[in-house]
């Protein structure tokens, strides 16, 4: 393996537990023209770890280990087994969850979601792409799935100079499968669905709304497959409305309401979330429980201010549509929006709406999306539950 050295005065982030080393922190030329595994040392030659080198990305190295060990089949087998054992402890008896959460499971550049007998895999770095057949072999050995999907349609692959595509990599994968969560059933499209097919990161937040759903008229904005709305109905909400701009998402939500026996107590509408919220505000339509779970408005720091304006506006309109005593569940999955900034934005929206709010719960991502201390990027989901007065 080639050895790369950090510049003098660089590396504090790595010493504090981070796994990323930027190109600007490396000393000298870097002749590698393809992704490879490298040894990393500080400027004095002290061993820091072994990681994956990316020639195309500003994140030049992602550390895999701080030990001197072979990065081969045994290494990945142990990492996958460790991740699987954690999920079995977190969710005993369940078979659908995020199995590998990239840096959170010390496997940067690799995401694996388990859907019963099927796996959805995202490979985000060139080095992981180069060894993907080994990864698939290990996953088959340990989990024996019926099929594996490569869900490599994410934009971050462009930063690594990688092609975007979706395909069945191993075995067979049907057009749709059905998974169970919280005694509800959800149809999942592994090939054409958003993300890997389902949003596991909100799993425990969907259960949390049980405390606030009884007898409520519910609005689920950016509903996707209807998971929040259907959980609210399970917990005795009187009626639920789901909004999404995707026709496919609305059709999927309708199917999920039917297979769970809720189709008579809900409706799902294709609409732009901002426009819909403004329209119900004008019509003075009110709800008792509103869930806002938008896509990431801030995918980079460059658009943070614009994203905050979006969060402020959507929370403002939701608050206008909330009955006195109602509950707002508002989320942000943008890492660049800190919990403090997000809460400040909600406070500004409540002031503009003339509403007083009490913060009931601060929540985050499900523990199958573990947060690695020292790598703040692994903590991205904020979920605040607030009561209106």
The reply to whether 266 belongs to the active site is no
Torsion of CA 72, 114, 192, 121, to 10 degrees: -10
Q: Please answer whether residues 290 and 326 qualify as being in contact, where contact means their C-beta atoms are separated by less than 8 angstroms.
A: yes
Locus of tokens 């007083």? 356
Q: What is the C-alpha to C-alpha distance for residues 164 and 166, in angstroms, rounded to an integer?
A: 7
Structure tokens at 350: 């409540």
Burial of 15 (0-12, 13-18, 19+ CB in 10 A): exposed
Torsion of CA 253, 230, 99, 196, to 10 degrees: 20
Instruction: Check 223, 331, 333, 388 and give the catalytic one.
Output: 333
Q: Using alpha carbons, select from 368, 350, 367 the residue that is nearest to residue 358.
A: 350
Q: What is the C-alpha to C-alpha distance for residues 11 and 111, in angstroms, rounded to an integer?
A: 26
Q: What is the C-alpha to C-alpha distance for residues 18 and 371, in angstroms, rounded to an integer?
A: 12
Residue 152, phi then psi, degrees to nearest 5:
-100, 50
Helix (H/G/I), strand (E/B), else coil: 226: coil
Instruction: Give the residue numbers annotated as catalytic, written as ranges.
Output: 333
């Amino acid at each position: 393996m080639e050895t790369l050295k950090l510049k003098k005065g660089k590396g504090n982030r790595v010493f504090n537990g981070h796994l990323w080393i930027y190109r600007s922190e490396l000393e000298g030329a870097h002749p590698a023209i393809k992704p490879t595994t490298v040894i990393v040392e500080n400027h004095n030659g002290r061993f820091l770890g072994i990681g994956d080198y990316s020639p195309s990305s500003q994140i030049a190295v992602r550390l895999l280990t701080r030990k001197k060990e072979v990065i081969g089949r045994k290494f990945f087998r142990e990492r996958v087994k460790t991740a699987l054992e954690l999920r079995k402890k977190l969710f005993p008896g369940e078979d659908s969850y995020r199995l590998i959460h990239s840096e959170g499971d010390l496997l940067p550049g690799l995401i694996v979601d388990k859907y019963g007998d099927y796996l959805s895999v995202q490979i985000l770095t060139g080095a992981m792409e180069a060894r993907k057949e080994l990864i698939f072999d290990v996953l088959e050995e340990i989990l024996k799935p019926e099929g594996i999907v490569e869900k490599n349609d994410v934009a971050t692959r462009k930063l690594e100079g990688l092609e975007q595509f979706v395909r069945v990599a191993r075995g067979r994968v049907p057009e749709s499968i059905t998974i169970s969560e919280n005694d509800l059933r959800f149809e999942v499209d592994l090939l054409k669905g958003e993300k890997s097919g389902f949003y596991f990161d909100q799993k425990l937040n969907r259960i949390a709304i049980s405390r606030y759903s009884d007898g409520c008229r519910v609005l689920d904005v950016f509903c996707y497959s209807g998971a929040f709305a259907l959980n609210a109905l399970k917990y005795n909400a009187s009626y639920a409305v789901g909004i999404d701009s995707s026709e496919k998402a609305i059709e999927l939500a309708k199917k999920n309401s039917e297979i769970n026996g809720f189709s008579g107590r809900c409706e799902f509408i294709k609409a732009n979330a901002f426009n819909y919220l403004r329209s119900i505000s004008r019509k003075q339509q009110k709800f008792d429980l509103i869930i806002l779970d938008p896509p990431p408005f801030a995918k980079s720091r460059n658009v943070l201010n614009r994203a905050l304006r979006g969060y402020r506006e959507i929370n403002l309109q939701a608050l206008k549509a909330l009955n006195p005593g109602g509950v707002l569940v508002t989320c942000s999955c943008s890492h660049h929006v800190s919990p403090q900034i997000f809460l400040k934005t909600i406070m500004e929206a409540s002031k503009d709406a003339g509403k007083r709010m009490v913060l009931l719960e601060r929540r985050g991502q499900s523990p199958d999306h573990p947060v690695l201390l020292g790598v703040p990027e692994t903590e991205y989901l904020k979920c605040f539950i607030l009561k209106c007065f």
